[in-house]
Amino acid sequence: MHSKSRTSRIAVLAASGIAAAALVAGCGSSGGGSTSSGSTSTSTSTAPATPSSPASPSAPAGTVTLQAATDPKLGTIVTDGAGFTLYRFDKDTAMPPMSNCNGNCASTWPPAPANGAATVKGIDSKLVGTVTRADGSKQLTLNGWPAYRYASDTKPGDTKGQGVGGIWFALTPTGGKAGAPSGGTTPSTPSSPSSPKAPSSPGSGYGGY
C-alpha cells in the first residue's frame, strides 16, 4: 500500500515539473518576441532622417549678393553675401570699367565673381554691373569700379585690406572709398586748399587762367 502511494506522489511531482518547464519555455519565447519588435522600431526610426535632405535645395544657386554694412571705423561699406568686405583698386578704371589686377595680384585680391544674378541690399541696383577680365571671366563692378575680396580677411567683418599700399580701399555703396582719412591717396586732396593762399598775392589774381 505504501509503495503505491509513493509511486503516485512521484508521478504528481513529475507532472508538476513538466508544467513548470513549459511555463519557463513560454516565458522565453515571449522575451524573444519583444526583442524582434524592438528591432523593427529602430528600423522605422531611421526612416525619418531622410526628410532632412530637402533643406539643401533652399540654398540659392548662381546668385551674388552685395549689401551695405556698417563698420565702426570706416562707416558704411560694401560686403558680399557672406559678409566679407569688398574693395576697389586705384589702378583700375571705372570709365570704362577695367581691372588691372591679374596674376599674383588676383590671388591676393580675388575678384568678386559675376556668375549669376546679383541681388542688392542697401545699394542702388543701377550702380551694379560687370566687367570682363583679361582671362575672360566676369567680375562685379560698383559704379564702374571692379570689386575684390582680400585674401587676408579670414572672417566676415574683417577690413585688413583697407589702405594697403595706399591704393586699396573698402568700397562704399556708391563705389567710393570708405574711411577716406585712413586712405593713402584721398588725404592728399585736402592739402590742396592751402593753394588758395596764392591769389592773395597782388597781381596774380585768376586772369592767368
pLDDT in tens, 10-31: 554 444 554 444 444 444 444 4
The 10s digit of each residue's pLDDT in 38-73 is 444 444 444 444 444 333 333 355 577 899 999 999
What pLDDT sits at residue 205? 35
178/194: higher pLDDT: 178
Overall size of the chain counted in residues: 209
What average pLDDT score do residues 162-169 get? 97
Helix (H), strand (E) at residue 77:
strand 75-80
Calculate the alpha carbon distances from 79 to 61, 122, 154, 173, 195 in Å: 19, 11, 14, 9, 38
Q: What phi and psi, each to the nearest 5 degrees, are found at residue 90? A: -65, -25
Mean of the per-residue pLDDT values of the chain: 72
